[in-house]
Structure 1
Amino acid sequence: MSLRNFHVDSNVTDADLLTRSDGLLKNFVASFRQAAANGHFSFGGITLQDLDLNRVHGIVTEIDSRRLFYACGEDESPHYAMQSLYESRKSIMEASKGVWANPSCEVLVQEISATLSKYCTAAERLAAKGGDMWSVDRMEFMMVMTDMRLSVWLLVAALQKKLGSIIRPRNLPADLVNLVSVGEV
């Protein structure tokens, strides 16, 4: 550390110090979590490895990277939407297998799987009917997909609230994050 750029201010309050150190503390905690998730943190003979964190990150990435969960509209084809939904559900179910160290993360991931299954069944009933672009069934299908997206993103926002900044999905709607953070959901 260079003392040349070091500045002492006698007017700094405890609150100012806490505010300034908040970013440093968050970075330290995030680094610790990353090290523990990858098994690079050891304390004596014990090596910490948080496989749950890796699983949750993989599940959130699966959701965040699929157009099905963040892009919707009138051009949405039921056939391709359902194909993506099946693939996503399968991938999430595969990632959630095994014993979880963190039961609350497990419950949230189980809820994501149950939500996908519920809306998958509802959409299958509508998708089987077909119809043209503006048919009542097509509009109903789009509403089922919209409800599914909202339900899944609310659960992802709950995971983010629980795990902190380590979960940063790019497509998570900010309004849902705000609802979850203030406890309105």
Structure 2
Amino acid sequence: MSLRNFHVNGNVTDEELLSRSSGFIETLVASFRQAAANGSFSFGPLTLKDPDLNRVHSVVTEIDSRRLFFACGDDEIPHYAMRSLYEVRNSIREHAKGVWANPSCELLVQEISHTLSEACTAAEKLGGEQVHMGSKEFEPFIDIIANMRLKVWALVAALKTKLGSVINPRNLPQEINVQVEKHDL
């Protein structure tokens, strides 16, 4: 298996990246099962109102169109990665505002926003935009960004699974999509 454009560096194998994502996906599935058990949302046929669908589409497009989420590697420049991370986080916060007709989509978008905020905080603790490619903080920075990408793509795959072909991100790693579909959210 190959995660197209999803390598952190030449030393990280596809299996290592997928093993990182599988733990998160299992936690995600457990959270949704708990939410369903508490009546927070149903797994039955979804009836989305246009505003919800438009918001979800905007969130997914925001992620899918940013290099930060699909073209990564040792050439990642922290200054530009952080700038893009701040922009996408703020944009998704704006899209998430208001009342949602579909609580499960709202929950997934909130989790994406939370994941982005956690990545911002962790990267800022290392120096954020001030981290340089040759510094000792560079590898931990890249690790934070890689883990954030895995979580965000798993959440996008969950949205795709819930909504079907309406959500069709071009850069969603197929292996993550397959793993999420296997868990039958």
Question: Does the alignment reach a TM-score above 0.5?
Answer: yes
Task: Trace 1:21-170 onto structure 2 (pairs within 5 A).
Answer: 49-128=49-128, 130=130, 132-170=132-170
From the CA coordinates, give the structure whose radius of gyration is larger.
1
CA–CA separation in structure 2 for the residues paired with 1:125 and 1:77: 17
Q: CA deviation at 1:84?
A: 0.4
Preserved CA contact (<8 Å) 2:79 2:129? no
* Contact residue 79 and residue 128 of structure 2 kept, 8 A: no
Partner Cα distance (1:66, 1:122) in 2? 20
Report the CA distance between 1:129 and its aligned residue: 8.8
- Cα RMSD of the aligned pairs, angstroms, is 2.1
1:131 and 1:122, CA in 2 relative to 1: closer, same or farther beyond 3 A?
Answer: closer
Change (3 A) 1:167 1:133: same
Structure 1, unmatched stretches of 5+, are: 1-32, 38-48
> In structure 1, what is the Cα distance between the partners aligned to 2:125 and 2:86?
14
Q: Taking CA–CA contacts closer than 8 Å with sequence separation of 6 or more, which of the two structures ends up with the larger relative contact order?
A: 2
**Structure-1 separation of matches of 2:99 and 2:129:** 40
The CA distance in 2 between the partners of 1:129 and 1:170, in whole Å, is: 28
Runs of 4+ in 1 over 2 A off after TM superposition: 127-136
Contact 1:78 1:127 (8 Å CA) reproduced: no
